[in-house]
Amino acid sequence: MSQDFVIQAFPRDEQGRGASRRLRREERKIPAIIYGAGKEATPISIWHNELKKALENEAFFSHILTIDLDGKKESVIMKDLQRHPYKLLLTHADFQRVEKDHEIFVHVPLHLLNEDSAPAIKTFGGVAFRLMTEVEVACLPQNLPEFIEIDMADVEMDQIVHMSDLKLPKGVRIPALQHGDEHDQPVMSVSKPKGVKDDNAEDEAEEGESKE
């Protein structure tokens, strides 16, 4: 992992809507919970702006995070995040504990590599259409990738890249693929934009007209 994320947390004794509203309004914190690994769920609170700033980094969502609660540190992943329906405010966060010998399920971003220099795009005028921006993977915590790359240099014009085509790091799998081919969803494709004529087809048409 290229970056460490440490979240300062505080015990949360009062619960309920009223307590949560006071927490957000008076202390500038949001309620959260840590659960999993066979332990009791732990209600906590965390600084709103600290979490909001961390979320600006895409890597935050696909990293093992560290929660520091009164000096006691726990390794977790973010499993859910609730936001205000129309204000730019976070309202609640769920964190799941991780164990080194137990698989975790995490949504990992998809990155396009060599998009500008890919022959299908640079030479033939194709455009990359992203059908998915992330994919859920399963792996042990130590094998969690920050992102998964799709090398555009290997993608041809009019090709559709499916989940089964992704090159996964060692120890990483896509759970959806275990449920049959119908779950092998397309993640991206390369084709010419609508309304753009194929040069080869146009040349062939002109050649045919000249022979008449």
22 shares its domain with 75 = yes
Q: For residue 28, is it within any domain?
A: yes
pLDDT tens-digit map of 86-100: 989 999 999 999 999
Confidence of residue 1 (pLDDT cuts 50, 70, 90): very low
pLDDT at 114 over 50: yes
Round to whole Å and give the CA distance between 32 and 69: 12
Q: For residue 208, is it within any domain?
A: no
**Residue where a domain terminates, one of 72, 97, 122:** 97
**Among the listed residues 55, 168, 62, the one whose alpha carbon sits nearest the alpha carbon of residue 108:** 62
Instruction: Identify the residue whose tokens are 């560290």.
Output: 66
pLDDT at 205 over 70: no
pLDDT tens-digit map of 28-73: 999 999 999 999 999 999 999 999 999 999 999 999 999 999 999 9
pLDDT at 105 over 80: yes
**Residue where a domain terminates, one of 40, 71, 97:** 97
Domain with 133 in it: 104-191
Q: For residue 204, is it within any domain?
A: no
- Report the predicted TM-score, pTM, of the whole model to 2 decimal places: 0.83
pLDDT at 79 over 80: yes
pLDDT tens-digit map of 120-155: 999 999 999 999 999 999 999 999 999 999 999 999
| Counts for the chain of helices (H) and strands (E), in that order | 4, 12
Contact 162, 184 (CB under 8 A): yes
What is the full DSSP assignment across 6-24? EEEEEE----SHHHHHHHH
Confidence of residue 181 (pLDDT cuts 50, 70, 90): confident
CATH value at residue 154: 2.170.120.20
21 shares its domain with 48 = yes
